[in-house]
Amino acid sequence: MRHVAGSCALLAVLGGPPRQQPWMLGPFTKPLQVNPVITPDFSSRFRSPTNDSTVAWEAYATFNPAAVVKDGKVFLLYRAEDASGEQQIGGHTSRLGLAESMDGLHFMRRATPVLYPDTDSQRQYEWPGGVEDPRIVESDDGTYILTYTQWNRDVPRLAVATSHDLITWTKHGPAFARAANGKYLRTESKSGAILSRLEGERVIATRVNGKYWMYFGVPDLRLATSDNLRDWTPVEDAGGNAVKVLSPRPGHFDSWLVEGGPPALLTARGILVLYNAGSLPSRTYSAGQALFDATNPRKLIARSDSAFIRPTESYERTGQYTAGTTFVEGLVPFQGRWYLYYGTADSRVGVAVWDPQKTTPAGTIVGTWHGTSLCADKQVDRACHDEEVIYEIDSAAGPRGPVRWQADKIVNGVRENMGVARLTYDSMAHNWFWDIQTRSHGLWTLAVRGDSLVGDLRELPVRRLVRRVAAGKCRAGIPSCPK
């Protein structure tokens, strides 16, 4: 069958076909035209209160974002590094910038950071390394709860801050400062993913068994509880050790380490945890998904066999961490889609998108397609001509159709309508068909395969092949496609 070279894909599929289990989110795709969505900016300047100097606060790297939907926009709190210090990971000062978007893909940034090391009570924990790797949720009263890492270049500590507008923040200090008589204050901690529920596009911290819960840590995932979302206590075993609820697996994509990702989500199937995963020997960072019991956040039910997102693009393998990184931290539902924001190579911010509607049979075929309809055997049917075609498929009656199919051909640059039909979905064969009941009996069959639409027309009852179709989604630059 002839390949239609003019129908290049608009989206990059995330690194091969991971086995998608019913409880998982996705599959996600990376929009090539917009990625990376946030990159370093040397022109931004900020007066640092800790040493009273002007710094290019986001000149070196911008990555590892938290995400939240507010007032019909997506907001990202992203980690920005200046070019001070040693030229190595962790050797610069980090601050948190704020960006907003109307479509989740194109962002406008504030000129100055909104969270940064200051001459306050947290300076001892945040200077000179800064504030890093945020995750964000809302409380029931609309307060924004931010978990982030304080880095003084001695001990990384998980901390909490709150805000009512995403701009002005109140720091509450290390999350585990009051736990177990302070024994965790000198212990490394980071990557706090608070268990939350969805209400529309809001991600709201939720109680299970009367408490708030948070998955955190690296190289194992641990668990903590809280009564107020500010002061947290690690869940311990009988020996007083913080309980591990998810650990690396030899021989898998998460063989080196696991680390907290975006806020955990309470779903109908259980608690969904997206986590970051390090692999040996490559030391590449990808991400997986795990499912915990909805009433027992310690109890693991299921786990993905392979990474659902991994470094496949050049911007995910160039920068500070050339082994490759897709470090997930921000996840929001927005305008009917899911937007996943992640750090790429410790240098930039990327986005991946999942449209749940497009994973249904009708969702995958609806759209405008451009390609060719080729005669199968011109010696048998000399009146048959190869055709350039435009197919408009719409008006889905449900997730499995039927759908309306308008077929047009292009003749001397002019679009001519060939007719309109109704396509029915065959759940057994996973394709769409139109049984032609006219003077001659025929069967059109169409199927979506990746980013392509393929199919054929056969004469019945002998099933003689008459035509073959190959098409791709219409895109800008194809003259025959609708403007």
Question: What pLDDT score does 428 carry?
Answer: 83
What is the percent of the chain where pLDDT is above 70? 95
What is the percent of the chain where pLDDT is above 90? 77
Does pLDDT of 464 surpass 50?
Answer: yes
Does pLDDT of 6 surpass 50?
Answer: no
**Helix/strand/coil for 179:** helix
pLDDT, tens digit, for every residue of 272-329? 999 999 999 999 999 999 999 999 999 999 999 999 999 999 999 999 999 999 999 9
Does pLDDT of 399 surpass 80?
Answer: no
Average pLDDT, the chain: 91
Q: Half-sphere exposure (CA, 13 Å, Cβ side) for 83? A: 11
Does pLDDT of 7 surpass 50?
Answer: no
Give the integer Cα–Cα distance in Å for 135 and 191: 8
Range of lowest pLDDT (68-77, 97-106, 452-461):
452-461
pLDDT band at 477 (very low <50, low <70, confident <90, very high): confident
Mind listing the domains of the chain with CATH numbers? 11-355 (2.115.10.20), 361-473 (2.40.128.20)
CA-based max dimension of the chain? 89
Question: What pLDDT score does 239 carry?
Answer: 94
Give the integer Cα–Cα distance in Å for 408 and 41: 47
Question: What pLDDT score does 358 carry?
Answer: 77
Question: What pLDDT score does 440 carry?
Answer: 82
The alpha carbon torsion through 15, 134, 92, 345 (nearest 10 deg) reads 0
pLDDT band at 483 (very low <50, low <70, confident <90, very high): low
Alpha carbon separation from 16 to 54, 159, 276 (Å, rounded): 45, 36, 18
pLDDT, tens digit, for every residue of 416-452? 999 999 999 998 888 999 999 887 899 999 999 888 9
Beta-carbon contacts of residue 221 (< 8 Å; ≥ 6 apart): 215, 244, 245, 246, 247, 258, 259, 260, 273, 275
Give the integer Cα–Cα distance in Å for 25 and 421: 34
DSSP string, 196-217: EEEETTEEEE-EETTEEEEEE-
Give the integer Cα–Cα distance in Å for 453 and 4: 10
Give the integer Cα–Cα distance in Å for 70 and 200: 11
Question: What pLDDT score does 2 carry?
Answer: 28
pLDDT, tens digit, for every residue of 201-214? 999 999 999 999 99
Give the residue among 43, 48, 44, 128 at the shortest CA–CA distance from 92.
128
pLDDT, tens digit, for every residue of 114-157? 999 999 999 999 999 999 999 999 999 999 999 999 999 999 99
pLDDT band at 380 (very low <50, low <70, confident <90, very high): low
